[in-house]
């Protein structure tokens, strides 16, 4: 199965399924479960200080022998230090988000890490492939958290046509139908965040998971457009307050202050009214909390066999 797949071959993994590297939620527990189930588990470094990230990497190394990754959020104040940690720890796969990682690519490649940036545009995909990216994750605006402007349906085939490295599709994928659609668009793998939030191994507060399970197709909203970093999350007291303040002409500083600590408030304290519940548009079809292994195996079993034996593009 997946013998002809460029991503399983490049990364030495069983299934072409990545777990999105989510801040506060993509911990060693979730990442090692996904890697043990044959996918690529990814620690979400988010705003983590370097020592915390090193501890998380060492936990994953103890809990799985399979390849794993770290996602580096480029808006983090610790970006230089956490890059240094992933180099020292020789992390097999490094994904990046929320910015352009070009300056860090040479150091990562030097120690043999595979570098796979998340892109939300064709232009950045092309630039990063020139800088040496081994593959790119094309993430549509259906995703939760920090997003771009283009949908997965429109972005993936345009990135596939523009670059000569494998493309991983992300945004709006939660089951075998989404995976088949991604392969049909020319992607060689998928990345899922939301589906893994509602897994047994995910350490998110039960209130967070319950809200995702209850969510419907139109439950999410995008805030932060005027600040230049749009974020998708479940509509709640905090997003409504944000919208009211934005409409009343609040300053960028006041709006940014609302977001400080808000993700942790939801993921760890369980305050899902005054915190940010980042999740993608597919939350409406996520109706149960399952073990990671079941999520992955159900998905692969239901995938039409044509996508397991051949892929649309073999570069």
Chain positions contacting ligand TUI, by CB under 6 A: 23, 46, 73, 97-100, 118-120, 124, 139, 145-148, 229, 231, 259, 263, 278
Residue nearest to ligand TUI (CB): 145
Q: Nearer Cβ to ligand TUI, position 145 or 157?
A: 145
Only one residue has tokens 């995910």, namely 202
Cα separation of 84 and 91, whole Å? 11
Q: What minimum distance in Å lies between the beta carbon of 96 and ligand TUI?
A: 8
Q: At what angle do helices 292-302 and 28-36 cross, to 10 degrees?
A: 40
CB of 5 to ligand TUI, least distance (A): 23
CB-wise, 46 or 69, nearer to ligand TUI? 46
Instruction: Choose between 265 and 308: whose C-beta lies nearer to ligand TUI.
Output: 265
CB of 302 to ligand TUI, least distance (A): 26
Say how far residue 44 (Cα) sits from the centre of its chain.
8
Q: Where are the beta strands (DSSP E) in the chain?
A: 17-19, 41-44, 68-73, 93-97, 114-119, 136-139, 145-146, 167-170, 189-192, 220-223, 231-234
Which residue number, 147 or 179, has a Cβ lying nearer to ligand TUI? 147
The CA-based dihedral angle spanning residues 284, 279, 272, 286, taken in that order and rounded to the nearest 10 degrees? 30
Q: How far is the CB of 4 from ligand TUI (least distance, A)?
A: 28
List the Cα angle 133/63/136 in 5-degree steps.
15
CB-nearer residue toward ligand TUI: 13 or 124: 124
Please, what is the minimum distance in Å from the beta carbon of residue 98 to ligand TUI? 4
């Amino acid at each position: 199965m997946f013998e002809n797949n460029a991503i399983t071959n490049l990364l030495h993994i069983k299934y072409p399924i990545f777990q999105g590297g989510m801040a506060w939620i993509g911990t060693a527990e979730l990442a090692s479960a996904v890697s043990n189930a044959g996918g690529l588990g990814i620690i979400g470094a988010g705003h983590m200080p370097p020592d915390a990230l090193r501890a998380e990497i060492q936990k994953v190394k103890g809990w799985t022998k399979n390849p794993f990754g770290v996602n580096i959020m480029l808006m983090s104040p610790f970006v230089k230090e956490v890059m240094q940690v992933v180099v020292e720890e020789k992390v097999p796969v490094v994904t990046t988000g929320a910015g352009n990682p070009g300056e860090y690519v040479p150091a990562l490649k030097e120690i043999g890490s595979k570098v796979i940036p998340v892109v939300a545009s064709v232009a950045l995909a092309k630039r990063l492939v020139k800088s040496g990216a081994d593959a790119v994750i094309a993430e549509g605006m259906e995703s939760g958290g920090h997003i771009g402007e283009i949908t997965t349906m429109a972005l993936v085939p345009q990135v596939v046509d523009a670059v000569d490295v494998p493309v991983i599709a992300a945004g709006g994928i939660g089951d075998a139908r989404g995976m088949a659609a991604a392969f049909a668009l020319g992607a060689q793998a998928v990345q899922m965040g939301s589906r893994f939030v509602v897994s047994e191994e995910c350490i998110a507060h039960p209130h967070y998971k319950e809200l995702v399970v209850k969510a419907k197709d139109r439950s999410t909203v995008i805030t932060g457009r005027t600040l230049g970093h749009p974020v998708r999350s479940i509509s709640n007291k905090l997003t409504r307050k944000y919208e009211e303040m934005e409409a009343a002409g609040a300053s960028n500083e006041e709006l940014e202050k609302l977001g400080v600590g808000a993700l942790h408030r939801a993921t760890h304290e369980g305050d899902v009214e005054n915190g940010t519940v980042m999740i993608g548009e597919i939350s409406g079809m996520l109706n149960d909390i399952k073990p990671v292994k079941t999520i992955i195996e159900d998905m692969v079993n239901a995938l039409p066999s044509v996508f397991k034996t051949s892929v649309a593009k073999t570069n």
